[in-house]
Amino acid sequence: MSFERSLYFNLPEVQKALHANRTNLPYKWSMCSPVLNYSETDPKINILPILKRIVKNHIPVWVLSGDQDSVVPLLGSRTLIRELAHELQYKVTVPYGAWFHKGQVGGWVTEYGNLLTFATVRGAAHMVPYAQPSRALGLFSAFVRGSRLPNTTRPSLMNN
């Protein structure tokens, strides 16, 4: 995966599409550039207060988790989002149930009103778009369109 990543992000056409490296830097792209001074403590910062502030400003938040992610297991993320919803006094508006993609179960989803959603992606590991590109795109597209995840197989079967 690391090899594919450095190969991919160094392709001139990929950089062009991402509007990256427009100054023709004299060195290759690599993960975690030493140019930036990363702090070891940053990965451990609790981001729930930030999510809370975003949601309180009426910006929708979807938290997603691959259901085969052994790095950040879905049960932890699901519990934290449930606790966040509880703290914000958001009620479950759509109980945990399957969402569909291309005639199959894409994952499971819980909605807390229009602002907070927790979704899993079936068969996805830690790198969700890498493990399940089609389902990941379906989920991301629904989020960007501001629509709900399909709770029936019908629309996608008709569109195909």
19 binds ligand NAG (CB under 6 A): no
Q: Is 41 in the site for ligand NAG (CB under 6 A)?
A: no
Using rule CB under 6 A, residue 5 touches ligand NAG = no
Rounded Cα distance between 145 and 147, Å, is 5
Phi/psi of residue 81, nearest 5 degrees: -70, -35
DSSP for 113-130, written as a single string:
TTTEEEEEETT--SSHHH
Angle at 114 between CA 127 and CA 129, to 5 degrees: 15
Per CB under 6 A, the list member of 3, 17, 19, 24 interacting with ligand NAG is 24
Closer CB to ligand NAG, 69 or 111, in the complex: 111
- Tokens standing for residue 59: 């910006």
Between 79 and 151, CB nearer to ligand NAG? 151
- Tell me: does residue 160 bind ligand NAG (CB under 6 A): no
Residues at the contact surface with ligand NAG, assessed by CB under 6 A:
15, 21, 24-25, 27-29, 37, 39, 148, 151
